[in-house]
Amino acid sequence: MNFASDNTTGIAPEILQALVAGNDGFALGYGNDDVTRAVERRIGEIFERDVAIFLVPTGTASNALALAHVSPPWGAVFAHAEAHILTDECGAPEFFGAGLKLVGLPGVGCKVTPQTLAETVSHYEGHSPHQVIPSAFSFAQASEAGTIYRPDEITALAAIAHAHGMKVHMDGARFANALVRMNASPAEITWKAGVDVLSFGATKAGALAAEAVVFFDRAAAAHMAERRKRAGHLLSKHRFLSLQFEAFLNNDCWLRLARHANVMADRLAAGLAAAGRPPVWPVEANLVFIALPKLAVAKLKSAGAQFYVRASDSLPGQVKFGPDQSLIRLVTSFATRPEEVEKFVELAAKV
Ligand SMILES: Cc1ncc(COP(=O)(O)O)c(C=O)c1O
């Protein structure tokens, strides 16, 4: 019953096999190999656009380098206050961005509304050179609460950002989970809706360690290659990043893996709701949040269930529950088995 994170899994068999098969022989380093070229073409096909791609091994590197590339050091990057870039990246965006400023915004279910963005940005005008200047809006798709932004919401947010000269960055650590939930294409939820740069995640979805920074305007990616190298994130045996992505995208493997993770989250949510503990936010990807009595949390843990407990005061105004309750996060993945879900639900109903 491991629901701690989608990075507690192993590697999806298709990807592991591709790594083993690709281990034979030699290939040029630093991304100058045929597999890397093929992956670049494939990602371009998926997004129906000529894109510039930079593979890196971690989501933090992907987010931080993407933001550093679209924001000057005196820029402000707006994102939800609970966004991974603000809470879990140890200042990497600010570090690689040479001091850029992250500004956390409120919003239910870890989503920023167009109204909030517009209102906030209006406070960042007319005070030059004393104040940082709005440079980017970043949002996670799926969000850190497991909710998703629909194409019309992205379009509205991007319109505000662009009207203020800002770029739009999507943290797609769980891009596949969000995509398969929607009746929309990868293009429709990214560049067609106004996204300028995407951190396209494969790690949580089944890879060992592979993330792609995708620029939808090639010109905007000028010197990103140097930025990645300078940051120490250009892998010399780069083909192993590309092999992961190739297998991930091959035969819709990525969509299949994400669908499974989402179905497991849906089952978990339905079972817990039937047991009187409905999720606190809509389950739209592979994350389920429920409020539970602290005693029940302790009993679940001692029965071997693994999950994280969120600090009760970390989501101001979003979830209301008493001091004897905790908010717990349950994450499913491509590797979650239905039996584990059933066992957890049964146990939760008992405690
Ligand atoms: C929303 C989000 N973005 C990015 C990441 C990537 O982080 P890492 O640097 O651990 O790969 C994570 C991982 O937890 C995440 O949840």
Q: For 155-191, how does the pLDDT look when each residue is reduced to its tens digit (9 = 90+)? A: 999 999 999 999 999 999 999 999 999 989 999 999 9
To test the pocket of ligand 1, the residue of 62, 144, 171 to mutate (highest count of ligand atoms within 8 Å of its CB) is 171
> What's the gap in Å between 203 CA and the centre of ligand 1?
9
- The Å distance, Cα 62 to ligand 1 centre, comes to 9
pLDDT at 316 over 70: no
> Which burial class, exposed, middle or buried, applies to 342 when counting CB atoms under 10 A from its CB (0-12, 13-18, 19+)?
middle
Residue 196's pLDDT is: 98
State the distance from the centre of ligand 1 to the C-alpha of 275, rounded, in angstroms.
Answer: 31
Distance 101 CA to ligand 1 centre (A): 19
Cα–Cα dist 134/90, whole Å: 22
- Residue 340: pLDDT above 70? yes
pLDDT of the residue at 320: 65
Ligand 1 centre from 286 Cα, in Å? 14
The best mutation among 147, 149, 204, 213 to test binding of ligand 1, ranked by most ligand atoms within 8 Å of the C-beta, falls on 204
Atom of ligand 1 lying closest to residue 209 CA:
11
Among 88, 102, 111, say which to mutate for ligand 1: greatest number of ligand atoms within 8 Å of CB. Answer: 88
Give the span between the Cα atoms of 53 and 90, in whole angstroms.
25
The rounded percent of the chain whose pLDDT value lies above 90 is 94
Q: 73-87 b/e with 16+ CB inside 10 Å = b?
A: eebbbbbbbbbbbbe
Please give the structure tokens belonging to residue 110. Answer: 């870890």
> How many angstroms does the Cα of residue 67 sit away from the middle of ligand 1?
14
Is it the case that residue 319 has pLDDT exceeding 80?
A: no
The mean of the pLDDT values for the chain is 95
Tell which atom from ligand 1 comes closest to the C-alpha of 58.
Answer: 11
Of 232-236, 244-248, 317-321, least confident by mean pLDDT is 317-321
Alpha-helical runs (H) found in the chain = 13-21, 34-46, 59-70, 84-87, 92-96, 114-122, 151-163, 175-181, 224-230, 239-249, 253-274, 294-302, 338-350
Ligand 1 mean position to 194 CA, how many Å?
A: 22
Name the pTM for this structure. 0.97
Task: Please give the number of the atom of ligand 1 that sits closest to the Cα of 60.
Answer: 9
Do 144 and 80 meet the contact criterion of CB atoms below 8 Å apart?
A: yes
Q: Quick one: pLDDT at residue 343?
A: 97
Nearest to 140, CA basis, from 109, 115, 162: 109
315 pLDDT band (50/70/90 cuts)?
Answer: low
Please tell me the predicted confidence (pLDDT) of residue 323.
Answer: 77
Number of helices (H) and strands (E) in the chain: give both, helices first.
13, 10
Residue 349 pLDDT exceeds 60? yes
CA-proximal residue: ligand 1, atom 7 (nearest): 59
Lowest mean pLDDT among 31-45, 50-64, 313-327, 335-349: 313-327
- Assess whether pLDDT exceeds 90 at residue 102: yes
User: So what's the pLDDT on residue 104?
Assistant: 97
Q: How far apart are CA 25 and CA 205, in angstroms?
A: 28
Please state the rounded mean pLDDT for residues 215-220.
98
How remote is the CA of residue 171 from the centroid of ligand 1, in Å? 8
Query: Looking at the predicted structure, is the pLDDT value of residue 314 above 70?
Result: no
Please state, in angstroms and rounded to a whole number, the distance separating the CA atoms of residues 104 and 307: 26
Question: pLDDT of 29-76, one tens digit each?
Answer: 999 999 999 999 999 999 999 999 999 999 999 999 999 999 999 999
C-alpha 60 – ligand 1 centre gap (Å): 6
Residue 313 has pLDDT above 80, yes or no: no
pLDDT of 274 above 90? yes
| 119-138 mean pLDDT | 95
Which residue among 7, 55, 60 has the greatest number of ligand 1 atoms within 8 angstroms of its CB, and so is best to mutate?
A: 60
Structure tokens at 155: 């379009």
**Does the structure show a pLDDT above 60 at 312?**
no
Across 114-128, 193-207, 211-225, 320-334, least confident range: 320-334
Ligand 1 atom having least distance to the Cα of 144: 1
- Kindly report the number of other CB atoms within 10 A of residue 331's CB atom: 27
Residues framing ligand 1 (Cβ under 6 A): 58-60, 63, 84, 140, 144, 171, 173, 203
pLDDT at 126: 86
Distance from residue 88's CA to the centre of ligand 1 (Å)? 8
